[in-house]
Structures are given as structure tokens and as C-alpha cells.
Amino acid sequence: MVRVLHAGDFHLDSAFGALTPEQARQRRAESRESVQRLVDWANDHDIQLMLLAGDLFDGAAIGGDTARLLAEALGSFRGQVVIAPGNHDPYTARSAYARTLWPDNVHIFTEDRMQTILFPQYGCAVHGAAFTAPEETEDRVLSGFTAPDDGLVHIGLIHGELTGSESRYRPLTTAAVMASGLHYLALGHVHGCSGVLHAGTVSYGYCGCLEGRGFDELGDKGFLAGEVSPEEAALQFIPFARRRYRIMEVDVTEGDPVETALAAIPQGWSEDVCRIVLTGSPAAPVRPERIETALAGRFYALQVRDK
């Protein structure tokens, strides 16, 4: 049995283009800080193995100290880290992965074929691969792979799209997952947490992203953590986002639209990025900008849309 934390899709140095320039700068800083928060959580919960399933960087154009700060944070983890670079941050000779000095406890897959890293101290082997280009239209890693039956806990770490159909981002099939013989397959690329799923005897899951970056990534974001053994993968979703993206519909047919919107706001949204969608059939035209002004300061950021 090994205690694991499965996270990924940090997308460090994202643009956060829908926010003000100052808010975007702050959100990028908060995203970088979230890695140290993640490591602190892992240390506090006796995690042994951290599985990072790619797209840790949003692209090649990252801040001058972003990779260094990531390396320093991961170096403070008391266990071992394995990274499988994704389509946004493929492993190349000029990538941050190749140009950064990583601590001894960080292991990075560097090829677009299955590689294996043994952790005898945990009775575990991690099998995985890197993206080495922004697109990969064929499954060259999981197809044909089968973990050995040797008494170790066998974990896979892959950034890819389990679609069973064509994809530009390493299409994976359920049949290949079933045939892999893995005890757990840690996947990255999809930004919603799937929880632990099963394909035959193989457990697998998407951890989702650590922080939402837009209104297509709503609600709680975080990671999966727990224990993996040959018998089961007992992992739970841990909400972890510093801020959440939320959408709320408000019917303004009756009464003053501002008062109606105020009354509809739930508790606990003041640190989040919110969009209020106005619905209904009011007698007089409603001015969304009036509601935005009236609700300013009640959220980290607010949009009002007239539907």
C-alpha cells in the first residue's frame, strides 16, 4: 500500500483574461502559491508519492521565476514526486522541465513512450510518459502496455483523453485501460474531477484542475488523495481552490432588480468570481451595469449578464 496524492492541470501563469489586469496578476500569484499549499497539505497528511498529471504550466511563455518556485515547493515535499508533462507543457529540450534544476525527489517522464520509475521504499512502480509535442493523435503509450504481476503496487501516470475516439491529445481507450493491469491510472487533461472509476479490474481517475480559470470550470476544484494497494484505490476528492467560479440565475420579473439580486446571493461567495444571469420578464428594462455597481465589493469579481 502507498499513500498518494494525484493532482495536475495547474496551468501556472494562465492569462486570466476575463479579470482586470491587477486581478489577473493576483490570480497568477495565488496559483503559484497553491503549489506550496498543496505540498504542505501532503506533508501534513503523510503522503508518500505525489503524482502530477501534466499541464503544470499553461504554456512555454512562463514567468522568469515560475519554474524555480515550482521546483522549490516540490523540493520541500517529504516524499517523492512524479511528473508526466502534458500538451500545454510538453517535454522538449527548451521546455522549463529541461532547463530547470529540479530537486532529487522530483522525477519527470521525458519520452512519449511508457517509462518506469521504481520506488522500492514504497513497494511501488510508476509507469508513465510525457507529451513531447503539443499534439499526439495516437495512443503510443498505453496501447499494448501491461504491468507485471510481481507483487508491487503498479500506478500509471498519463496526460491524455479517454474518449475512445479521435483526439489531438493522446486518445486513450477503455480497452487499453482494462488491459494495462495497473492498480491505479492517474490521468490529467480533463479539468473536472471524475472520482475513482473502474475499467474491469483497473481503477482510474481524473483529478481535475487545482484552480478554476473561467466560467467553464465551475465550483470546487482540487485533487485526489488516499491509498493505493493491489486490492483497491481508495482515493477521495479534496476541495482545494483558493477561489471558485460560480454562476447564479436571478429572476427579476418582480420587484427591484438590485434588491432581488442582493437577496439571492448565498453566503460564502465573497472570495469567488461570479456571474449573475438575469432572467424573467420585468415590466421595465433592467440595466445590468446598475446591478454590477450596486453589488461591487460583494465578490472578488462580478459579471452581470442579461438573459
Where do we find the cell 509507469? 127
The structure's pTM equals 0.95
Q: Is residue 63 within 8 Å of residue 13, measured between CB atoms? A: yes
Q: Quick one: pLDDT at residue 165?
A: 72
| HEC letters along the chain | CEEEEEECCCCECCCCCCCCHHHHHHHHHHHHHHHHHHHHHHHHCCCCEEEECCCCECCCCCCCCHHHHHHHHHHCCCCEEEECCCCCCCCCCCCHHHHCCCCCCEEECCCCCCEEEEEHHHCEEEEECCCCCCCECCCCCCCCCCCCCCCCEEEEEEECEECCCCCCECEECHHHHHHCCCCEEEEECCCCCCCCEEECCEEEEECCCCCCCCCCCCCCCEEEEEEECCCCEEEEEEECCCCCEEEEEEECCCCCHHHHHHHHCCCCCCCCEEEEEEECCCCCCCCHHHHHHHCCCCCCEEEEEEC
Q: Are strands 197-199 and 202-206 parallel, antiparallel or unpaired?
A: antiparallel
Q: Note the Cα 169 to chain centre separation in Å.
A: 16
Sheet holding 124-128, edge to edge: 115-119, 124-128, 153-159, 184-188, 202-206, 197-199
pLDDT score, position 284: 85
What parts of the chain have a pLDDT lower than 70?
164
pLDDT the model gives residue 164: 67
Bridge partner residues of 238 (DSSP): 223
Where on the phi/psi map is residue 297: left (φ > 0), alpha (ψ -120 to 50), or beta? left
159 conformational bin, left if phi > 0, alpha if psi -120 to 50, beta if neither: beta
13: left (phi over 0), alpha (psi -120 to 50) or beta: left
d(CA 55, CA 209): 9
Question: At what angle are helices 66-75 and 21-44 packed, to 10 degrees?
Answer: 20
The residues near 243 (Cβ < 8 Å, ≥ 6 apart) are 27, 30, 211, 212, 271, 272, 273, 300
CA dist., res. 169 & res. 259, Å (int): 47
pLDDT single digits (tens) 147-194: 999 999 999 999 999 986 788 999 999 999 999 999 999 999 999 999
**Rounded to an integer, what distance in angstroms lies between the CA atom of residue 175 and that of residue 185?**
13
